[in-house]
């Protein structure tokens, strides 16, 4: 793992939204084009990661929207919210640009989120069942598979997700 890049983990701001959206689109194309094709990934990111949708996520109560910043670029982002009266953190999204993967940005984002919800006892997430790179990333960080969720696509069209959880 290359570790020469320093990541500053900070709260995302309104001015970050265009760069965050670009990061999500690039990361999703890298991970999911081989599974779904570029057109389907473009449709999903257009719906799920519009600037307006990201703005709504950022404003959600009991949530954290953070970025890994190199000082020159946003290398990664993560968004999570509390559930179960604060006992569970639901990780809705974590993305790291391909050129910054395996350098510690994803781990730093997860660590920061774990500390943002002091009442939480666990963190839960869903990951596409065929995204072996992401599954391995989460397993190496202590997440264990707890079940299979329905569709990743809110409309019911695209792949199946697996549920993972870890104690905090």
Within a domain: 70: yes
pTM of the model: 0.88
43-80 pLDDT, tens per residue?
989 888 999 999 999 999 999 999 999 999 999 999 99
Model pLDDT, residue 59: 94
Q: Which helix (H) or strand (E) element contains residue 124?
A: strand 122-128
Within a domain: 157: no
Which pLDDT band, with edges at 50, 70 and 90, does 156 fall under? very low
4-26 pLDDT, tens per residue?
789 999 999 999 999 999 999 99
Among the ranges given (114-123, 131-140, 154-163), the one the predictor scored with the smallest mean pLDDT: 154-163
For residue 112, give the CATH number of its domain.
3.40.630.30
Q: Give which of 66, 86, 85, 69 is closest to 77, Cα–Cα.
A: 66
Within a domain: 153: no
Within a domain: 145: no
Q: Which domain holds residue 72?
A: 8-119
Q: How many domains does the chain have?
A: 1
Q: Which helix (H) or strand (E) element contains residue 32?
A: helix 17-36
Within a domain: 105: yes
């Amino acid at each position: 793992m290359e570790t020469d890049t320093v990541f500053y983990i900070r709260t995302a701001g309104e001015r970050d939204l265009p760069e965050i959206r670009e990061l999500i689109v690039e990361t999703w194309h890298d991970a999911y084009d081989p599974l779904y094709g570029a057109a389907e990934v473009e449709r999903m990111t257009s719906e799920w990661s519009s600037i307006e949708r990201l703005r709504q996520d950022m404003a959600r109560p009991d949530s954290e929207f953070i970025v890994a910043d190199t000082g020159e670029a946003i290398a990664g982002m993560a968004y999570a919210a509390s559930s179960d009266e604060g006992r569970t953190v639901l990780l809705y999204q974590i993305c790291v640009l391909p050129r910054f993967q395996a350098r510690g940005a994803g781990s730093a984002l997860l660590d920061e989120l774990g500390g943002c919800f002091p009442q939480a006892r666990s963190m839960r997430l869903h990951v596409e069942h065929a995204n072996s790179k992401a599954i391995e990333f989460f397993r190496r960080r202590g997440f264990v598979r707890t079940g299979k969720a329905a569709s990743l696509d809110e409309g019911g069209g695209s792949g199946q997700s697996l549920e993972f959880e870890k104690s905090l």
